Structure 1
Amino acid sequence: MTIKEAKVSDPSWHLSENSEELTCTELEFSLMRSYEAFGRWQAECLASVSDSVVTGPENALLHLVRMNNRAKSIKELARLTNRDDIANIQYSMRKLCTEGLVEKCGSGRTGVTYHATDKGVAVTDEYSALRKKLLIEQLESQRQFSEKLVEAAKTLNTLSGIYEEATRIAALHRR
């Protein structure tokens, strides 16, 4: 059902009392579905080039660790992913270390960082090549899709800020 086809009085959309709320609700459900599809894509693409079994978010952490070929701390990874579940990030990093994809450097005193191992670099290179073949080439075949992606990225970044502010406000309304 498209937004235009949906009726505001549709009882299945308890979150929506008018067309603006319906549009927002449809976007939120689209974001959830996209997030889950993206996570499955990341995990499956990595599994296609490696014997490592990691989730989509763990795959994202691997690529962020490799980004700019510079080691990253847990704090940096949390900031880059807009996550606050530090314990889960730490667990994921231990898992990536066990898989031999990243290596932990430093200590509590000097600061712990993580960098991609040779295996991690090879796997992320293979992932990149498969991603290009299966995803990027398909996206490039879409008419004006590059421009749409740029606009979508800007919109999603704006929404991230709006949701962050709404989260701060919601925290004030806790019972």
Structure 2
Amino acid sequence: MKNRQAGPQKPLDRSWHLARTPEEMDVADLEYALIRCFEAFGHWQAECLASVVEFQASGPENALLHMIRANDRPKSVRDLAHMANRQDVPNIQYSLRKLIKGGLVAKSGSGRAGVTYEATALGRDVCDRYADVRADLLVPSIARQPDLAKRLPDAAHALDLMTGIYEQAVREAATHRHRPGRPDAEMPAKTPQQNPRRRN
């Protein structure tokens, strides 16, 4: 039995089904960093809100409250969906009902004239106290990291660019989606060697 010549082993193998090339590895690393950052951001939002009011809310619900408060002007569901780049209107409406029940948001208008939502006096106070906790805990932590604050504008711009790229990819995928049950036209046909029933 021949001895195998074992080459130098890499300590980590980063290749997998979403990362078959160096470019795919970089995109996969970015995507999983986004997932982890999104979850951490949600945890922070929920905990920061809980520190200023006894109201259980998810990260997206907290974000919705601050979007409603932004510029102190009423906003429609369509406005909120556009601001958050969301399409799940039923979930937005559920969150709005929860915020209304908690006394943080008020609903006004009618179906014909248009329904809008705005922060109540309690909602504005909660948003202001949330901003105070954010200024005390989060912003100084960022400032303590060397040059991190200077890189935030470029990071925000990069995320905006990636948002546009993902949205374009969504449109492409929706345009060229295969119908269920339709055979893939690009599947290679079987050769005689691949068909066991074919006789020479």
Q: For this structure pair, what is the TM-score category when the shorter chain's length is used for normalisation?
A: over 0.9
1:6, CA displacement in angstroms?
5.0
- Correspondence for 1:129: 132
Q: What are the Cα deviations for residues 48-102 of structure 1, in whole angstroms up to 9, with x where unaligned?
A: 1100111100000000000001011000000000000011001111110000000
- Correspondence for 1:95: 98
- Correspondence for 1:140: 143
1:7, CA displacement in angstroms?
4.0
Alignment match of 2:36 (pick from 26, 33, 37): 33
1:172, CA displacement in angstroms?
1.9
Q: Which runs of 5+ in 1 are unaligned?
A: none
> 1: CA distance between counterparts of 2:19 and 2:143?
35
| CA-based RMSD | 1.4
> 1: CA distance between counterparts of 2:60 and 2:110?
24
The higher-RCO structure (CA 8 Å, 6+ apart) is 1
Q: Does 1:15 align with 2:18?
A: yes
- Correspondence for 1:171: 174
**1:77 counterpart SS class:** helix
> 2: CA distance between counterparts of 1:174 and 1:105?
41
Greater Rg by CA: 2
TM-score, normalization: structure 2? 0.81
Pick the structure with more helix per residue: 1
| 1:14-93 paired onto structure 2 within 5 Å | 14-93=17-96
**2:93 counterpart SS class:** helix
**1:91 counterpart SS class:** helix
TM-score, normalization: structure 1? 0.93
Q: Which runs of 5+ in 2 are unaligned?
A: 1-10, 179-200
1:43, CA displacement in angstroms?
0.6
How many residues of Structure 1 are paired with residues of Structure 2 in the alignment?
169
> 2: CA distance between counterparts of 1:169 and 1:103?
39
> 2: CA distance between counterparts of 1:44 and 1:152?
24
Q: Which amino acid is 2:115 matched to?
A: V
1:38, CA displacement in angstroms?
0.5
Q: What are the Cα deviations for residues 105-141 of structure 1, in whole angstroms up to 9, with x where unaligned?
A: 1010110000000000110111000011110011111
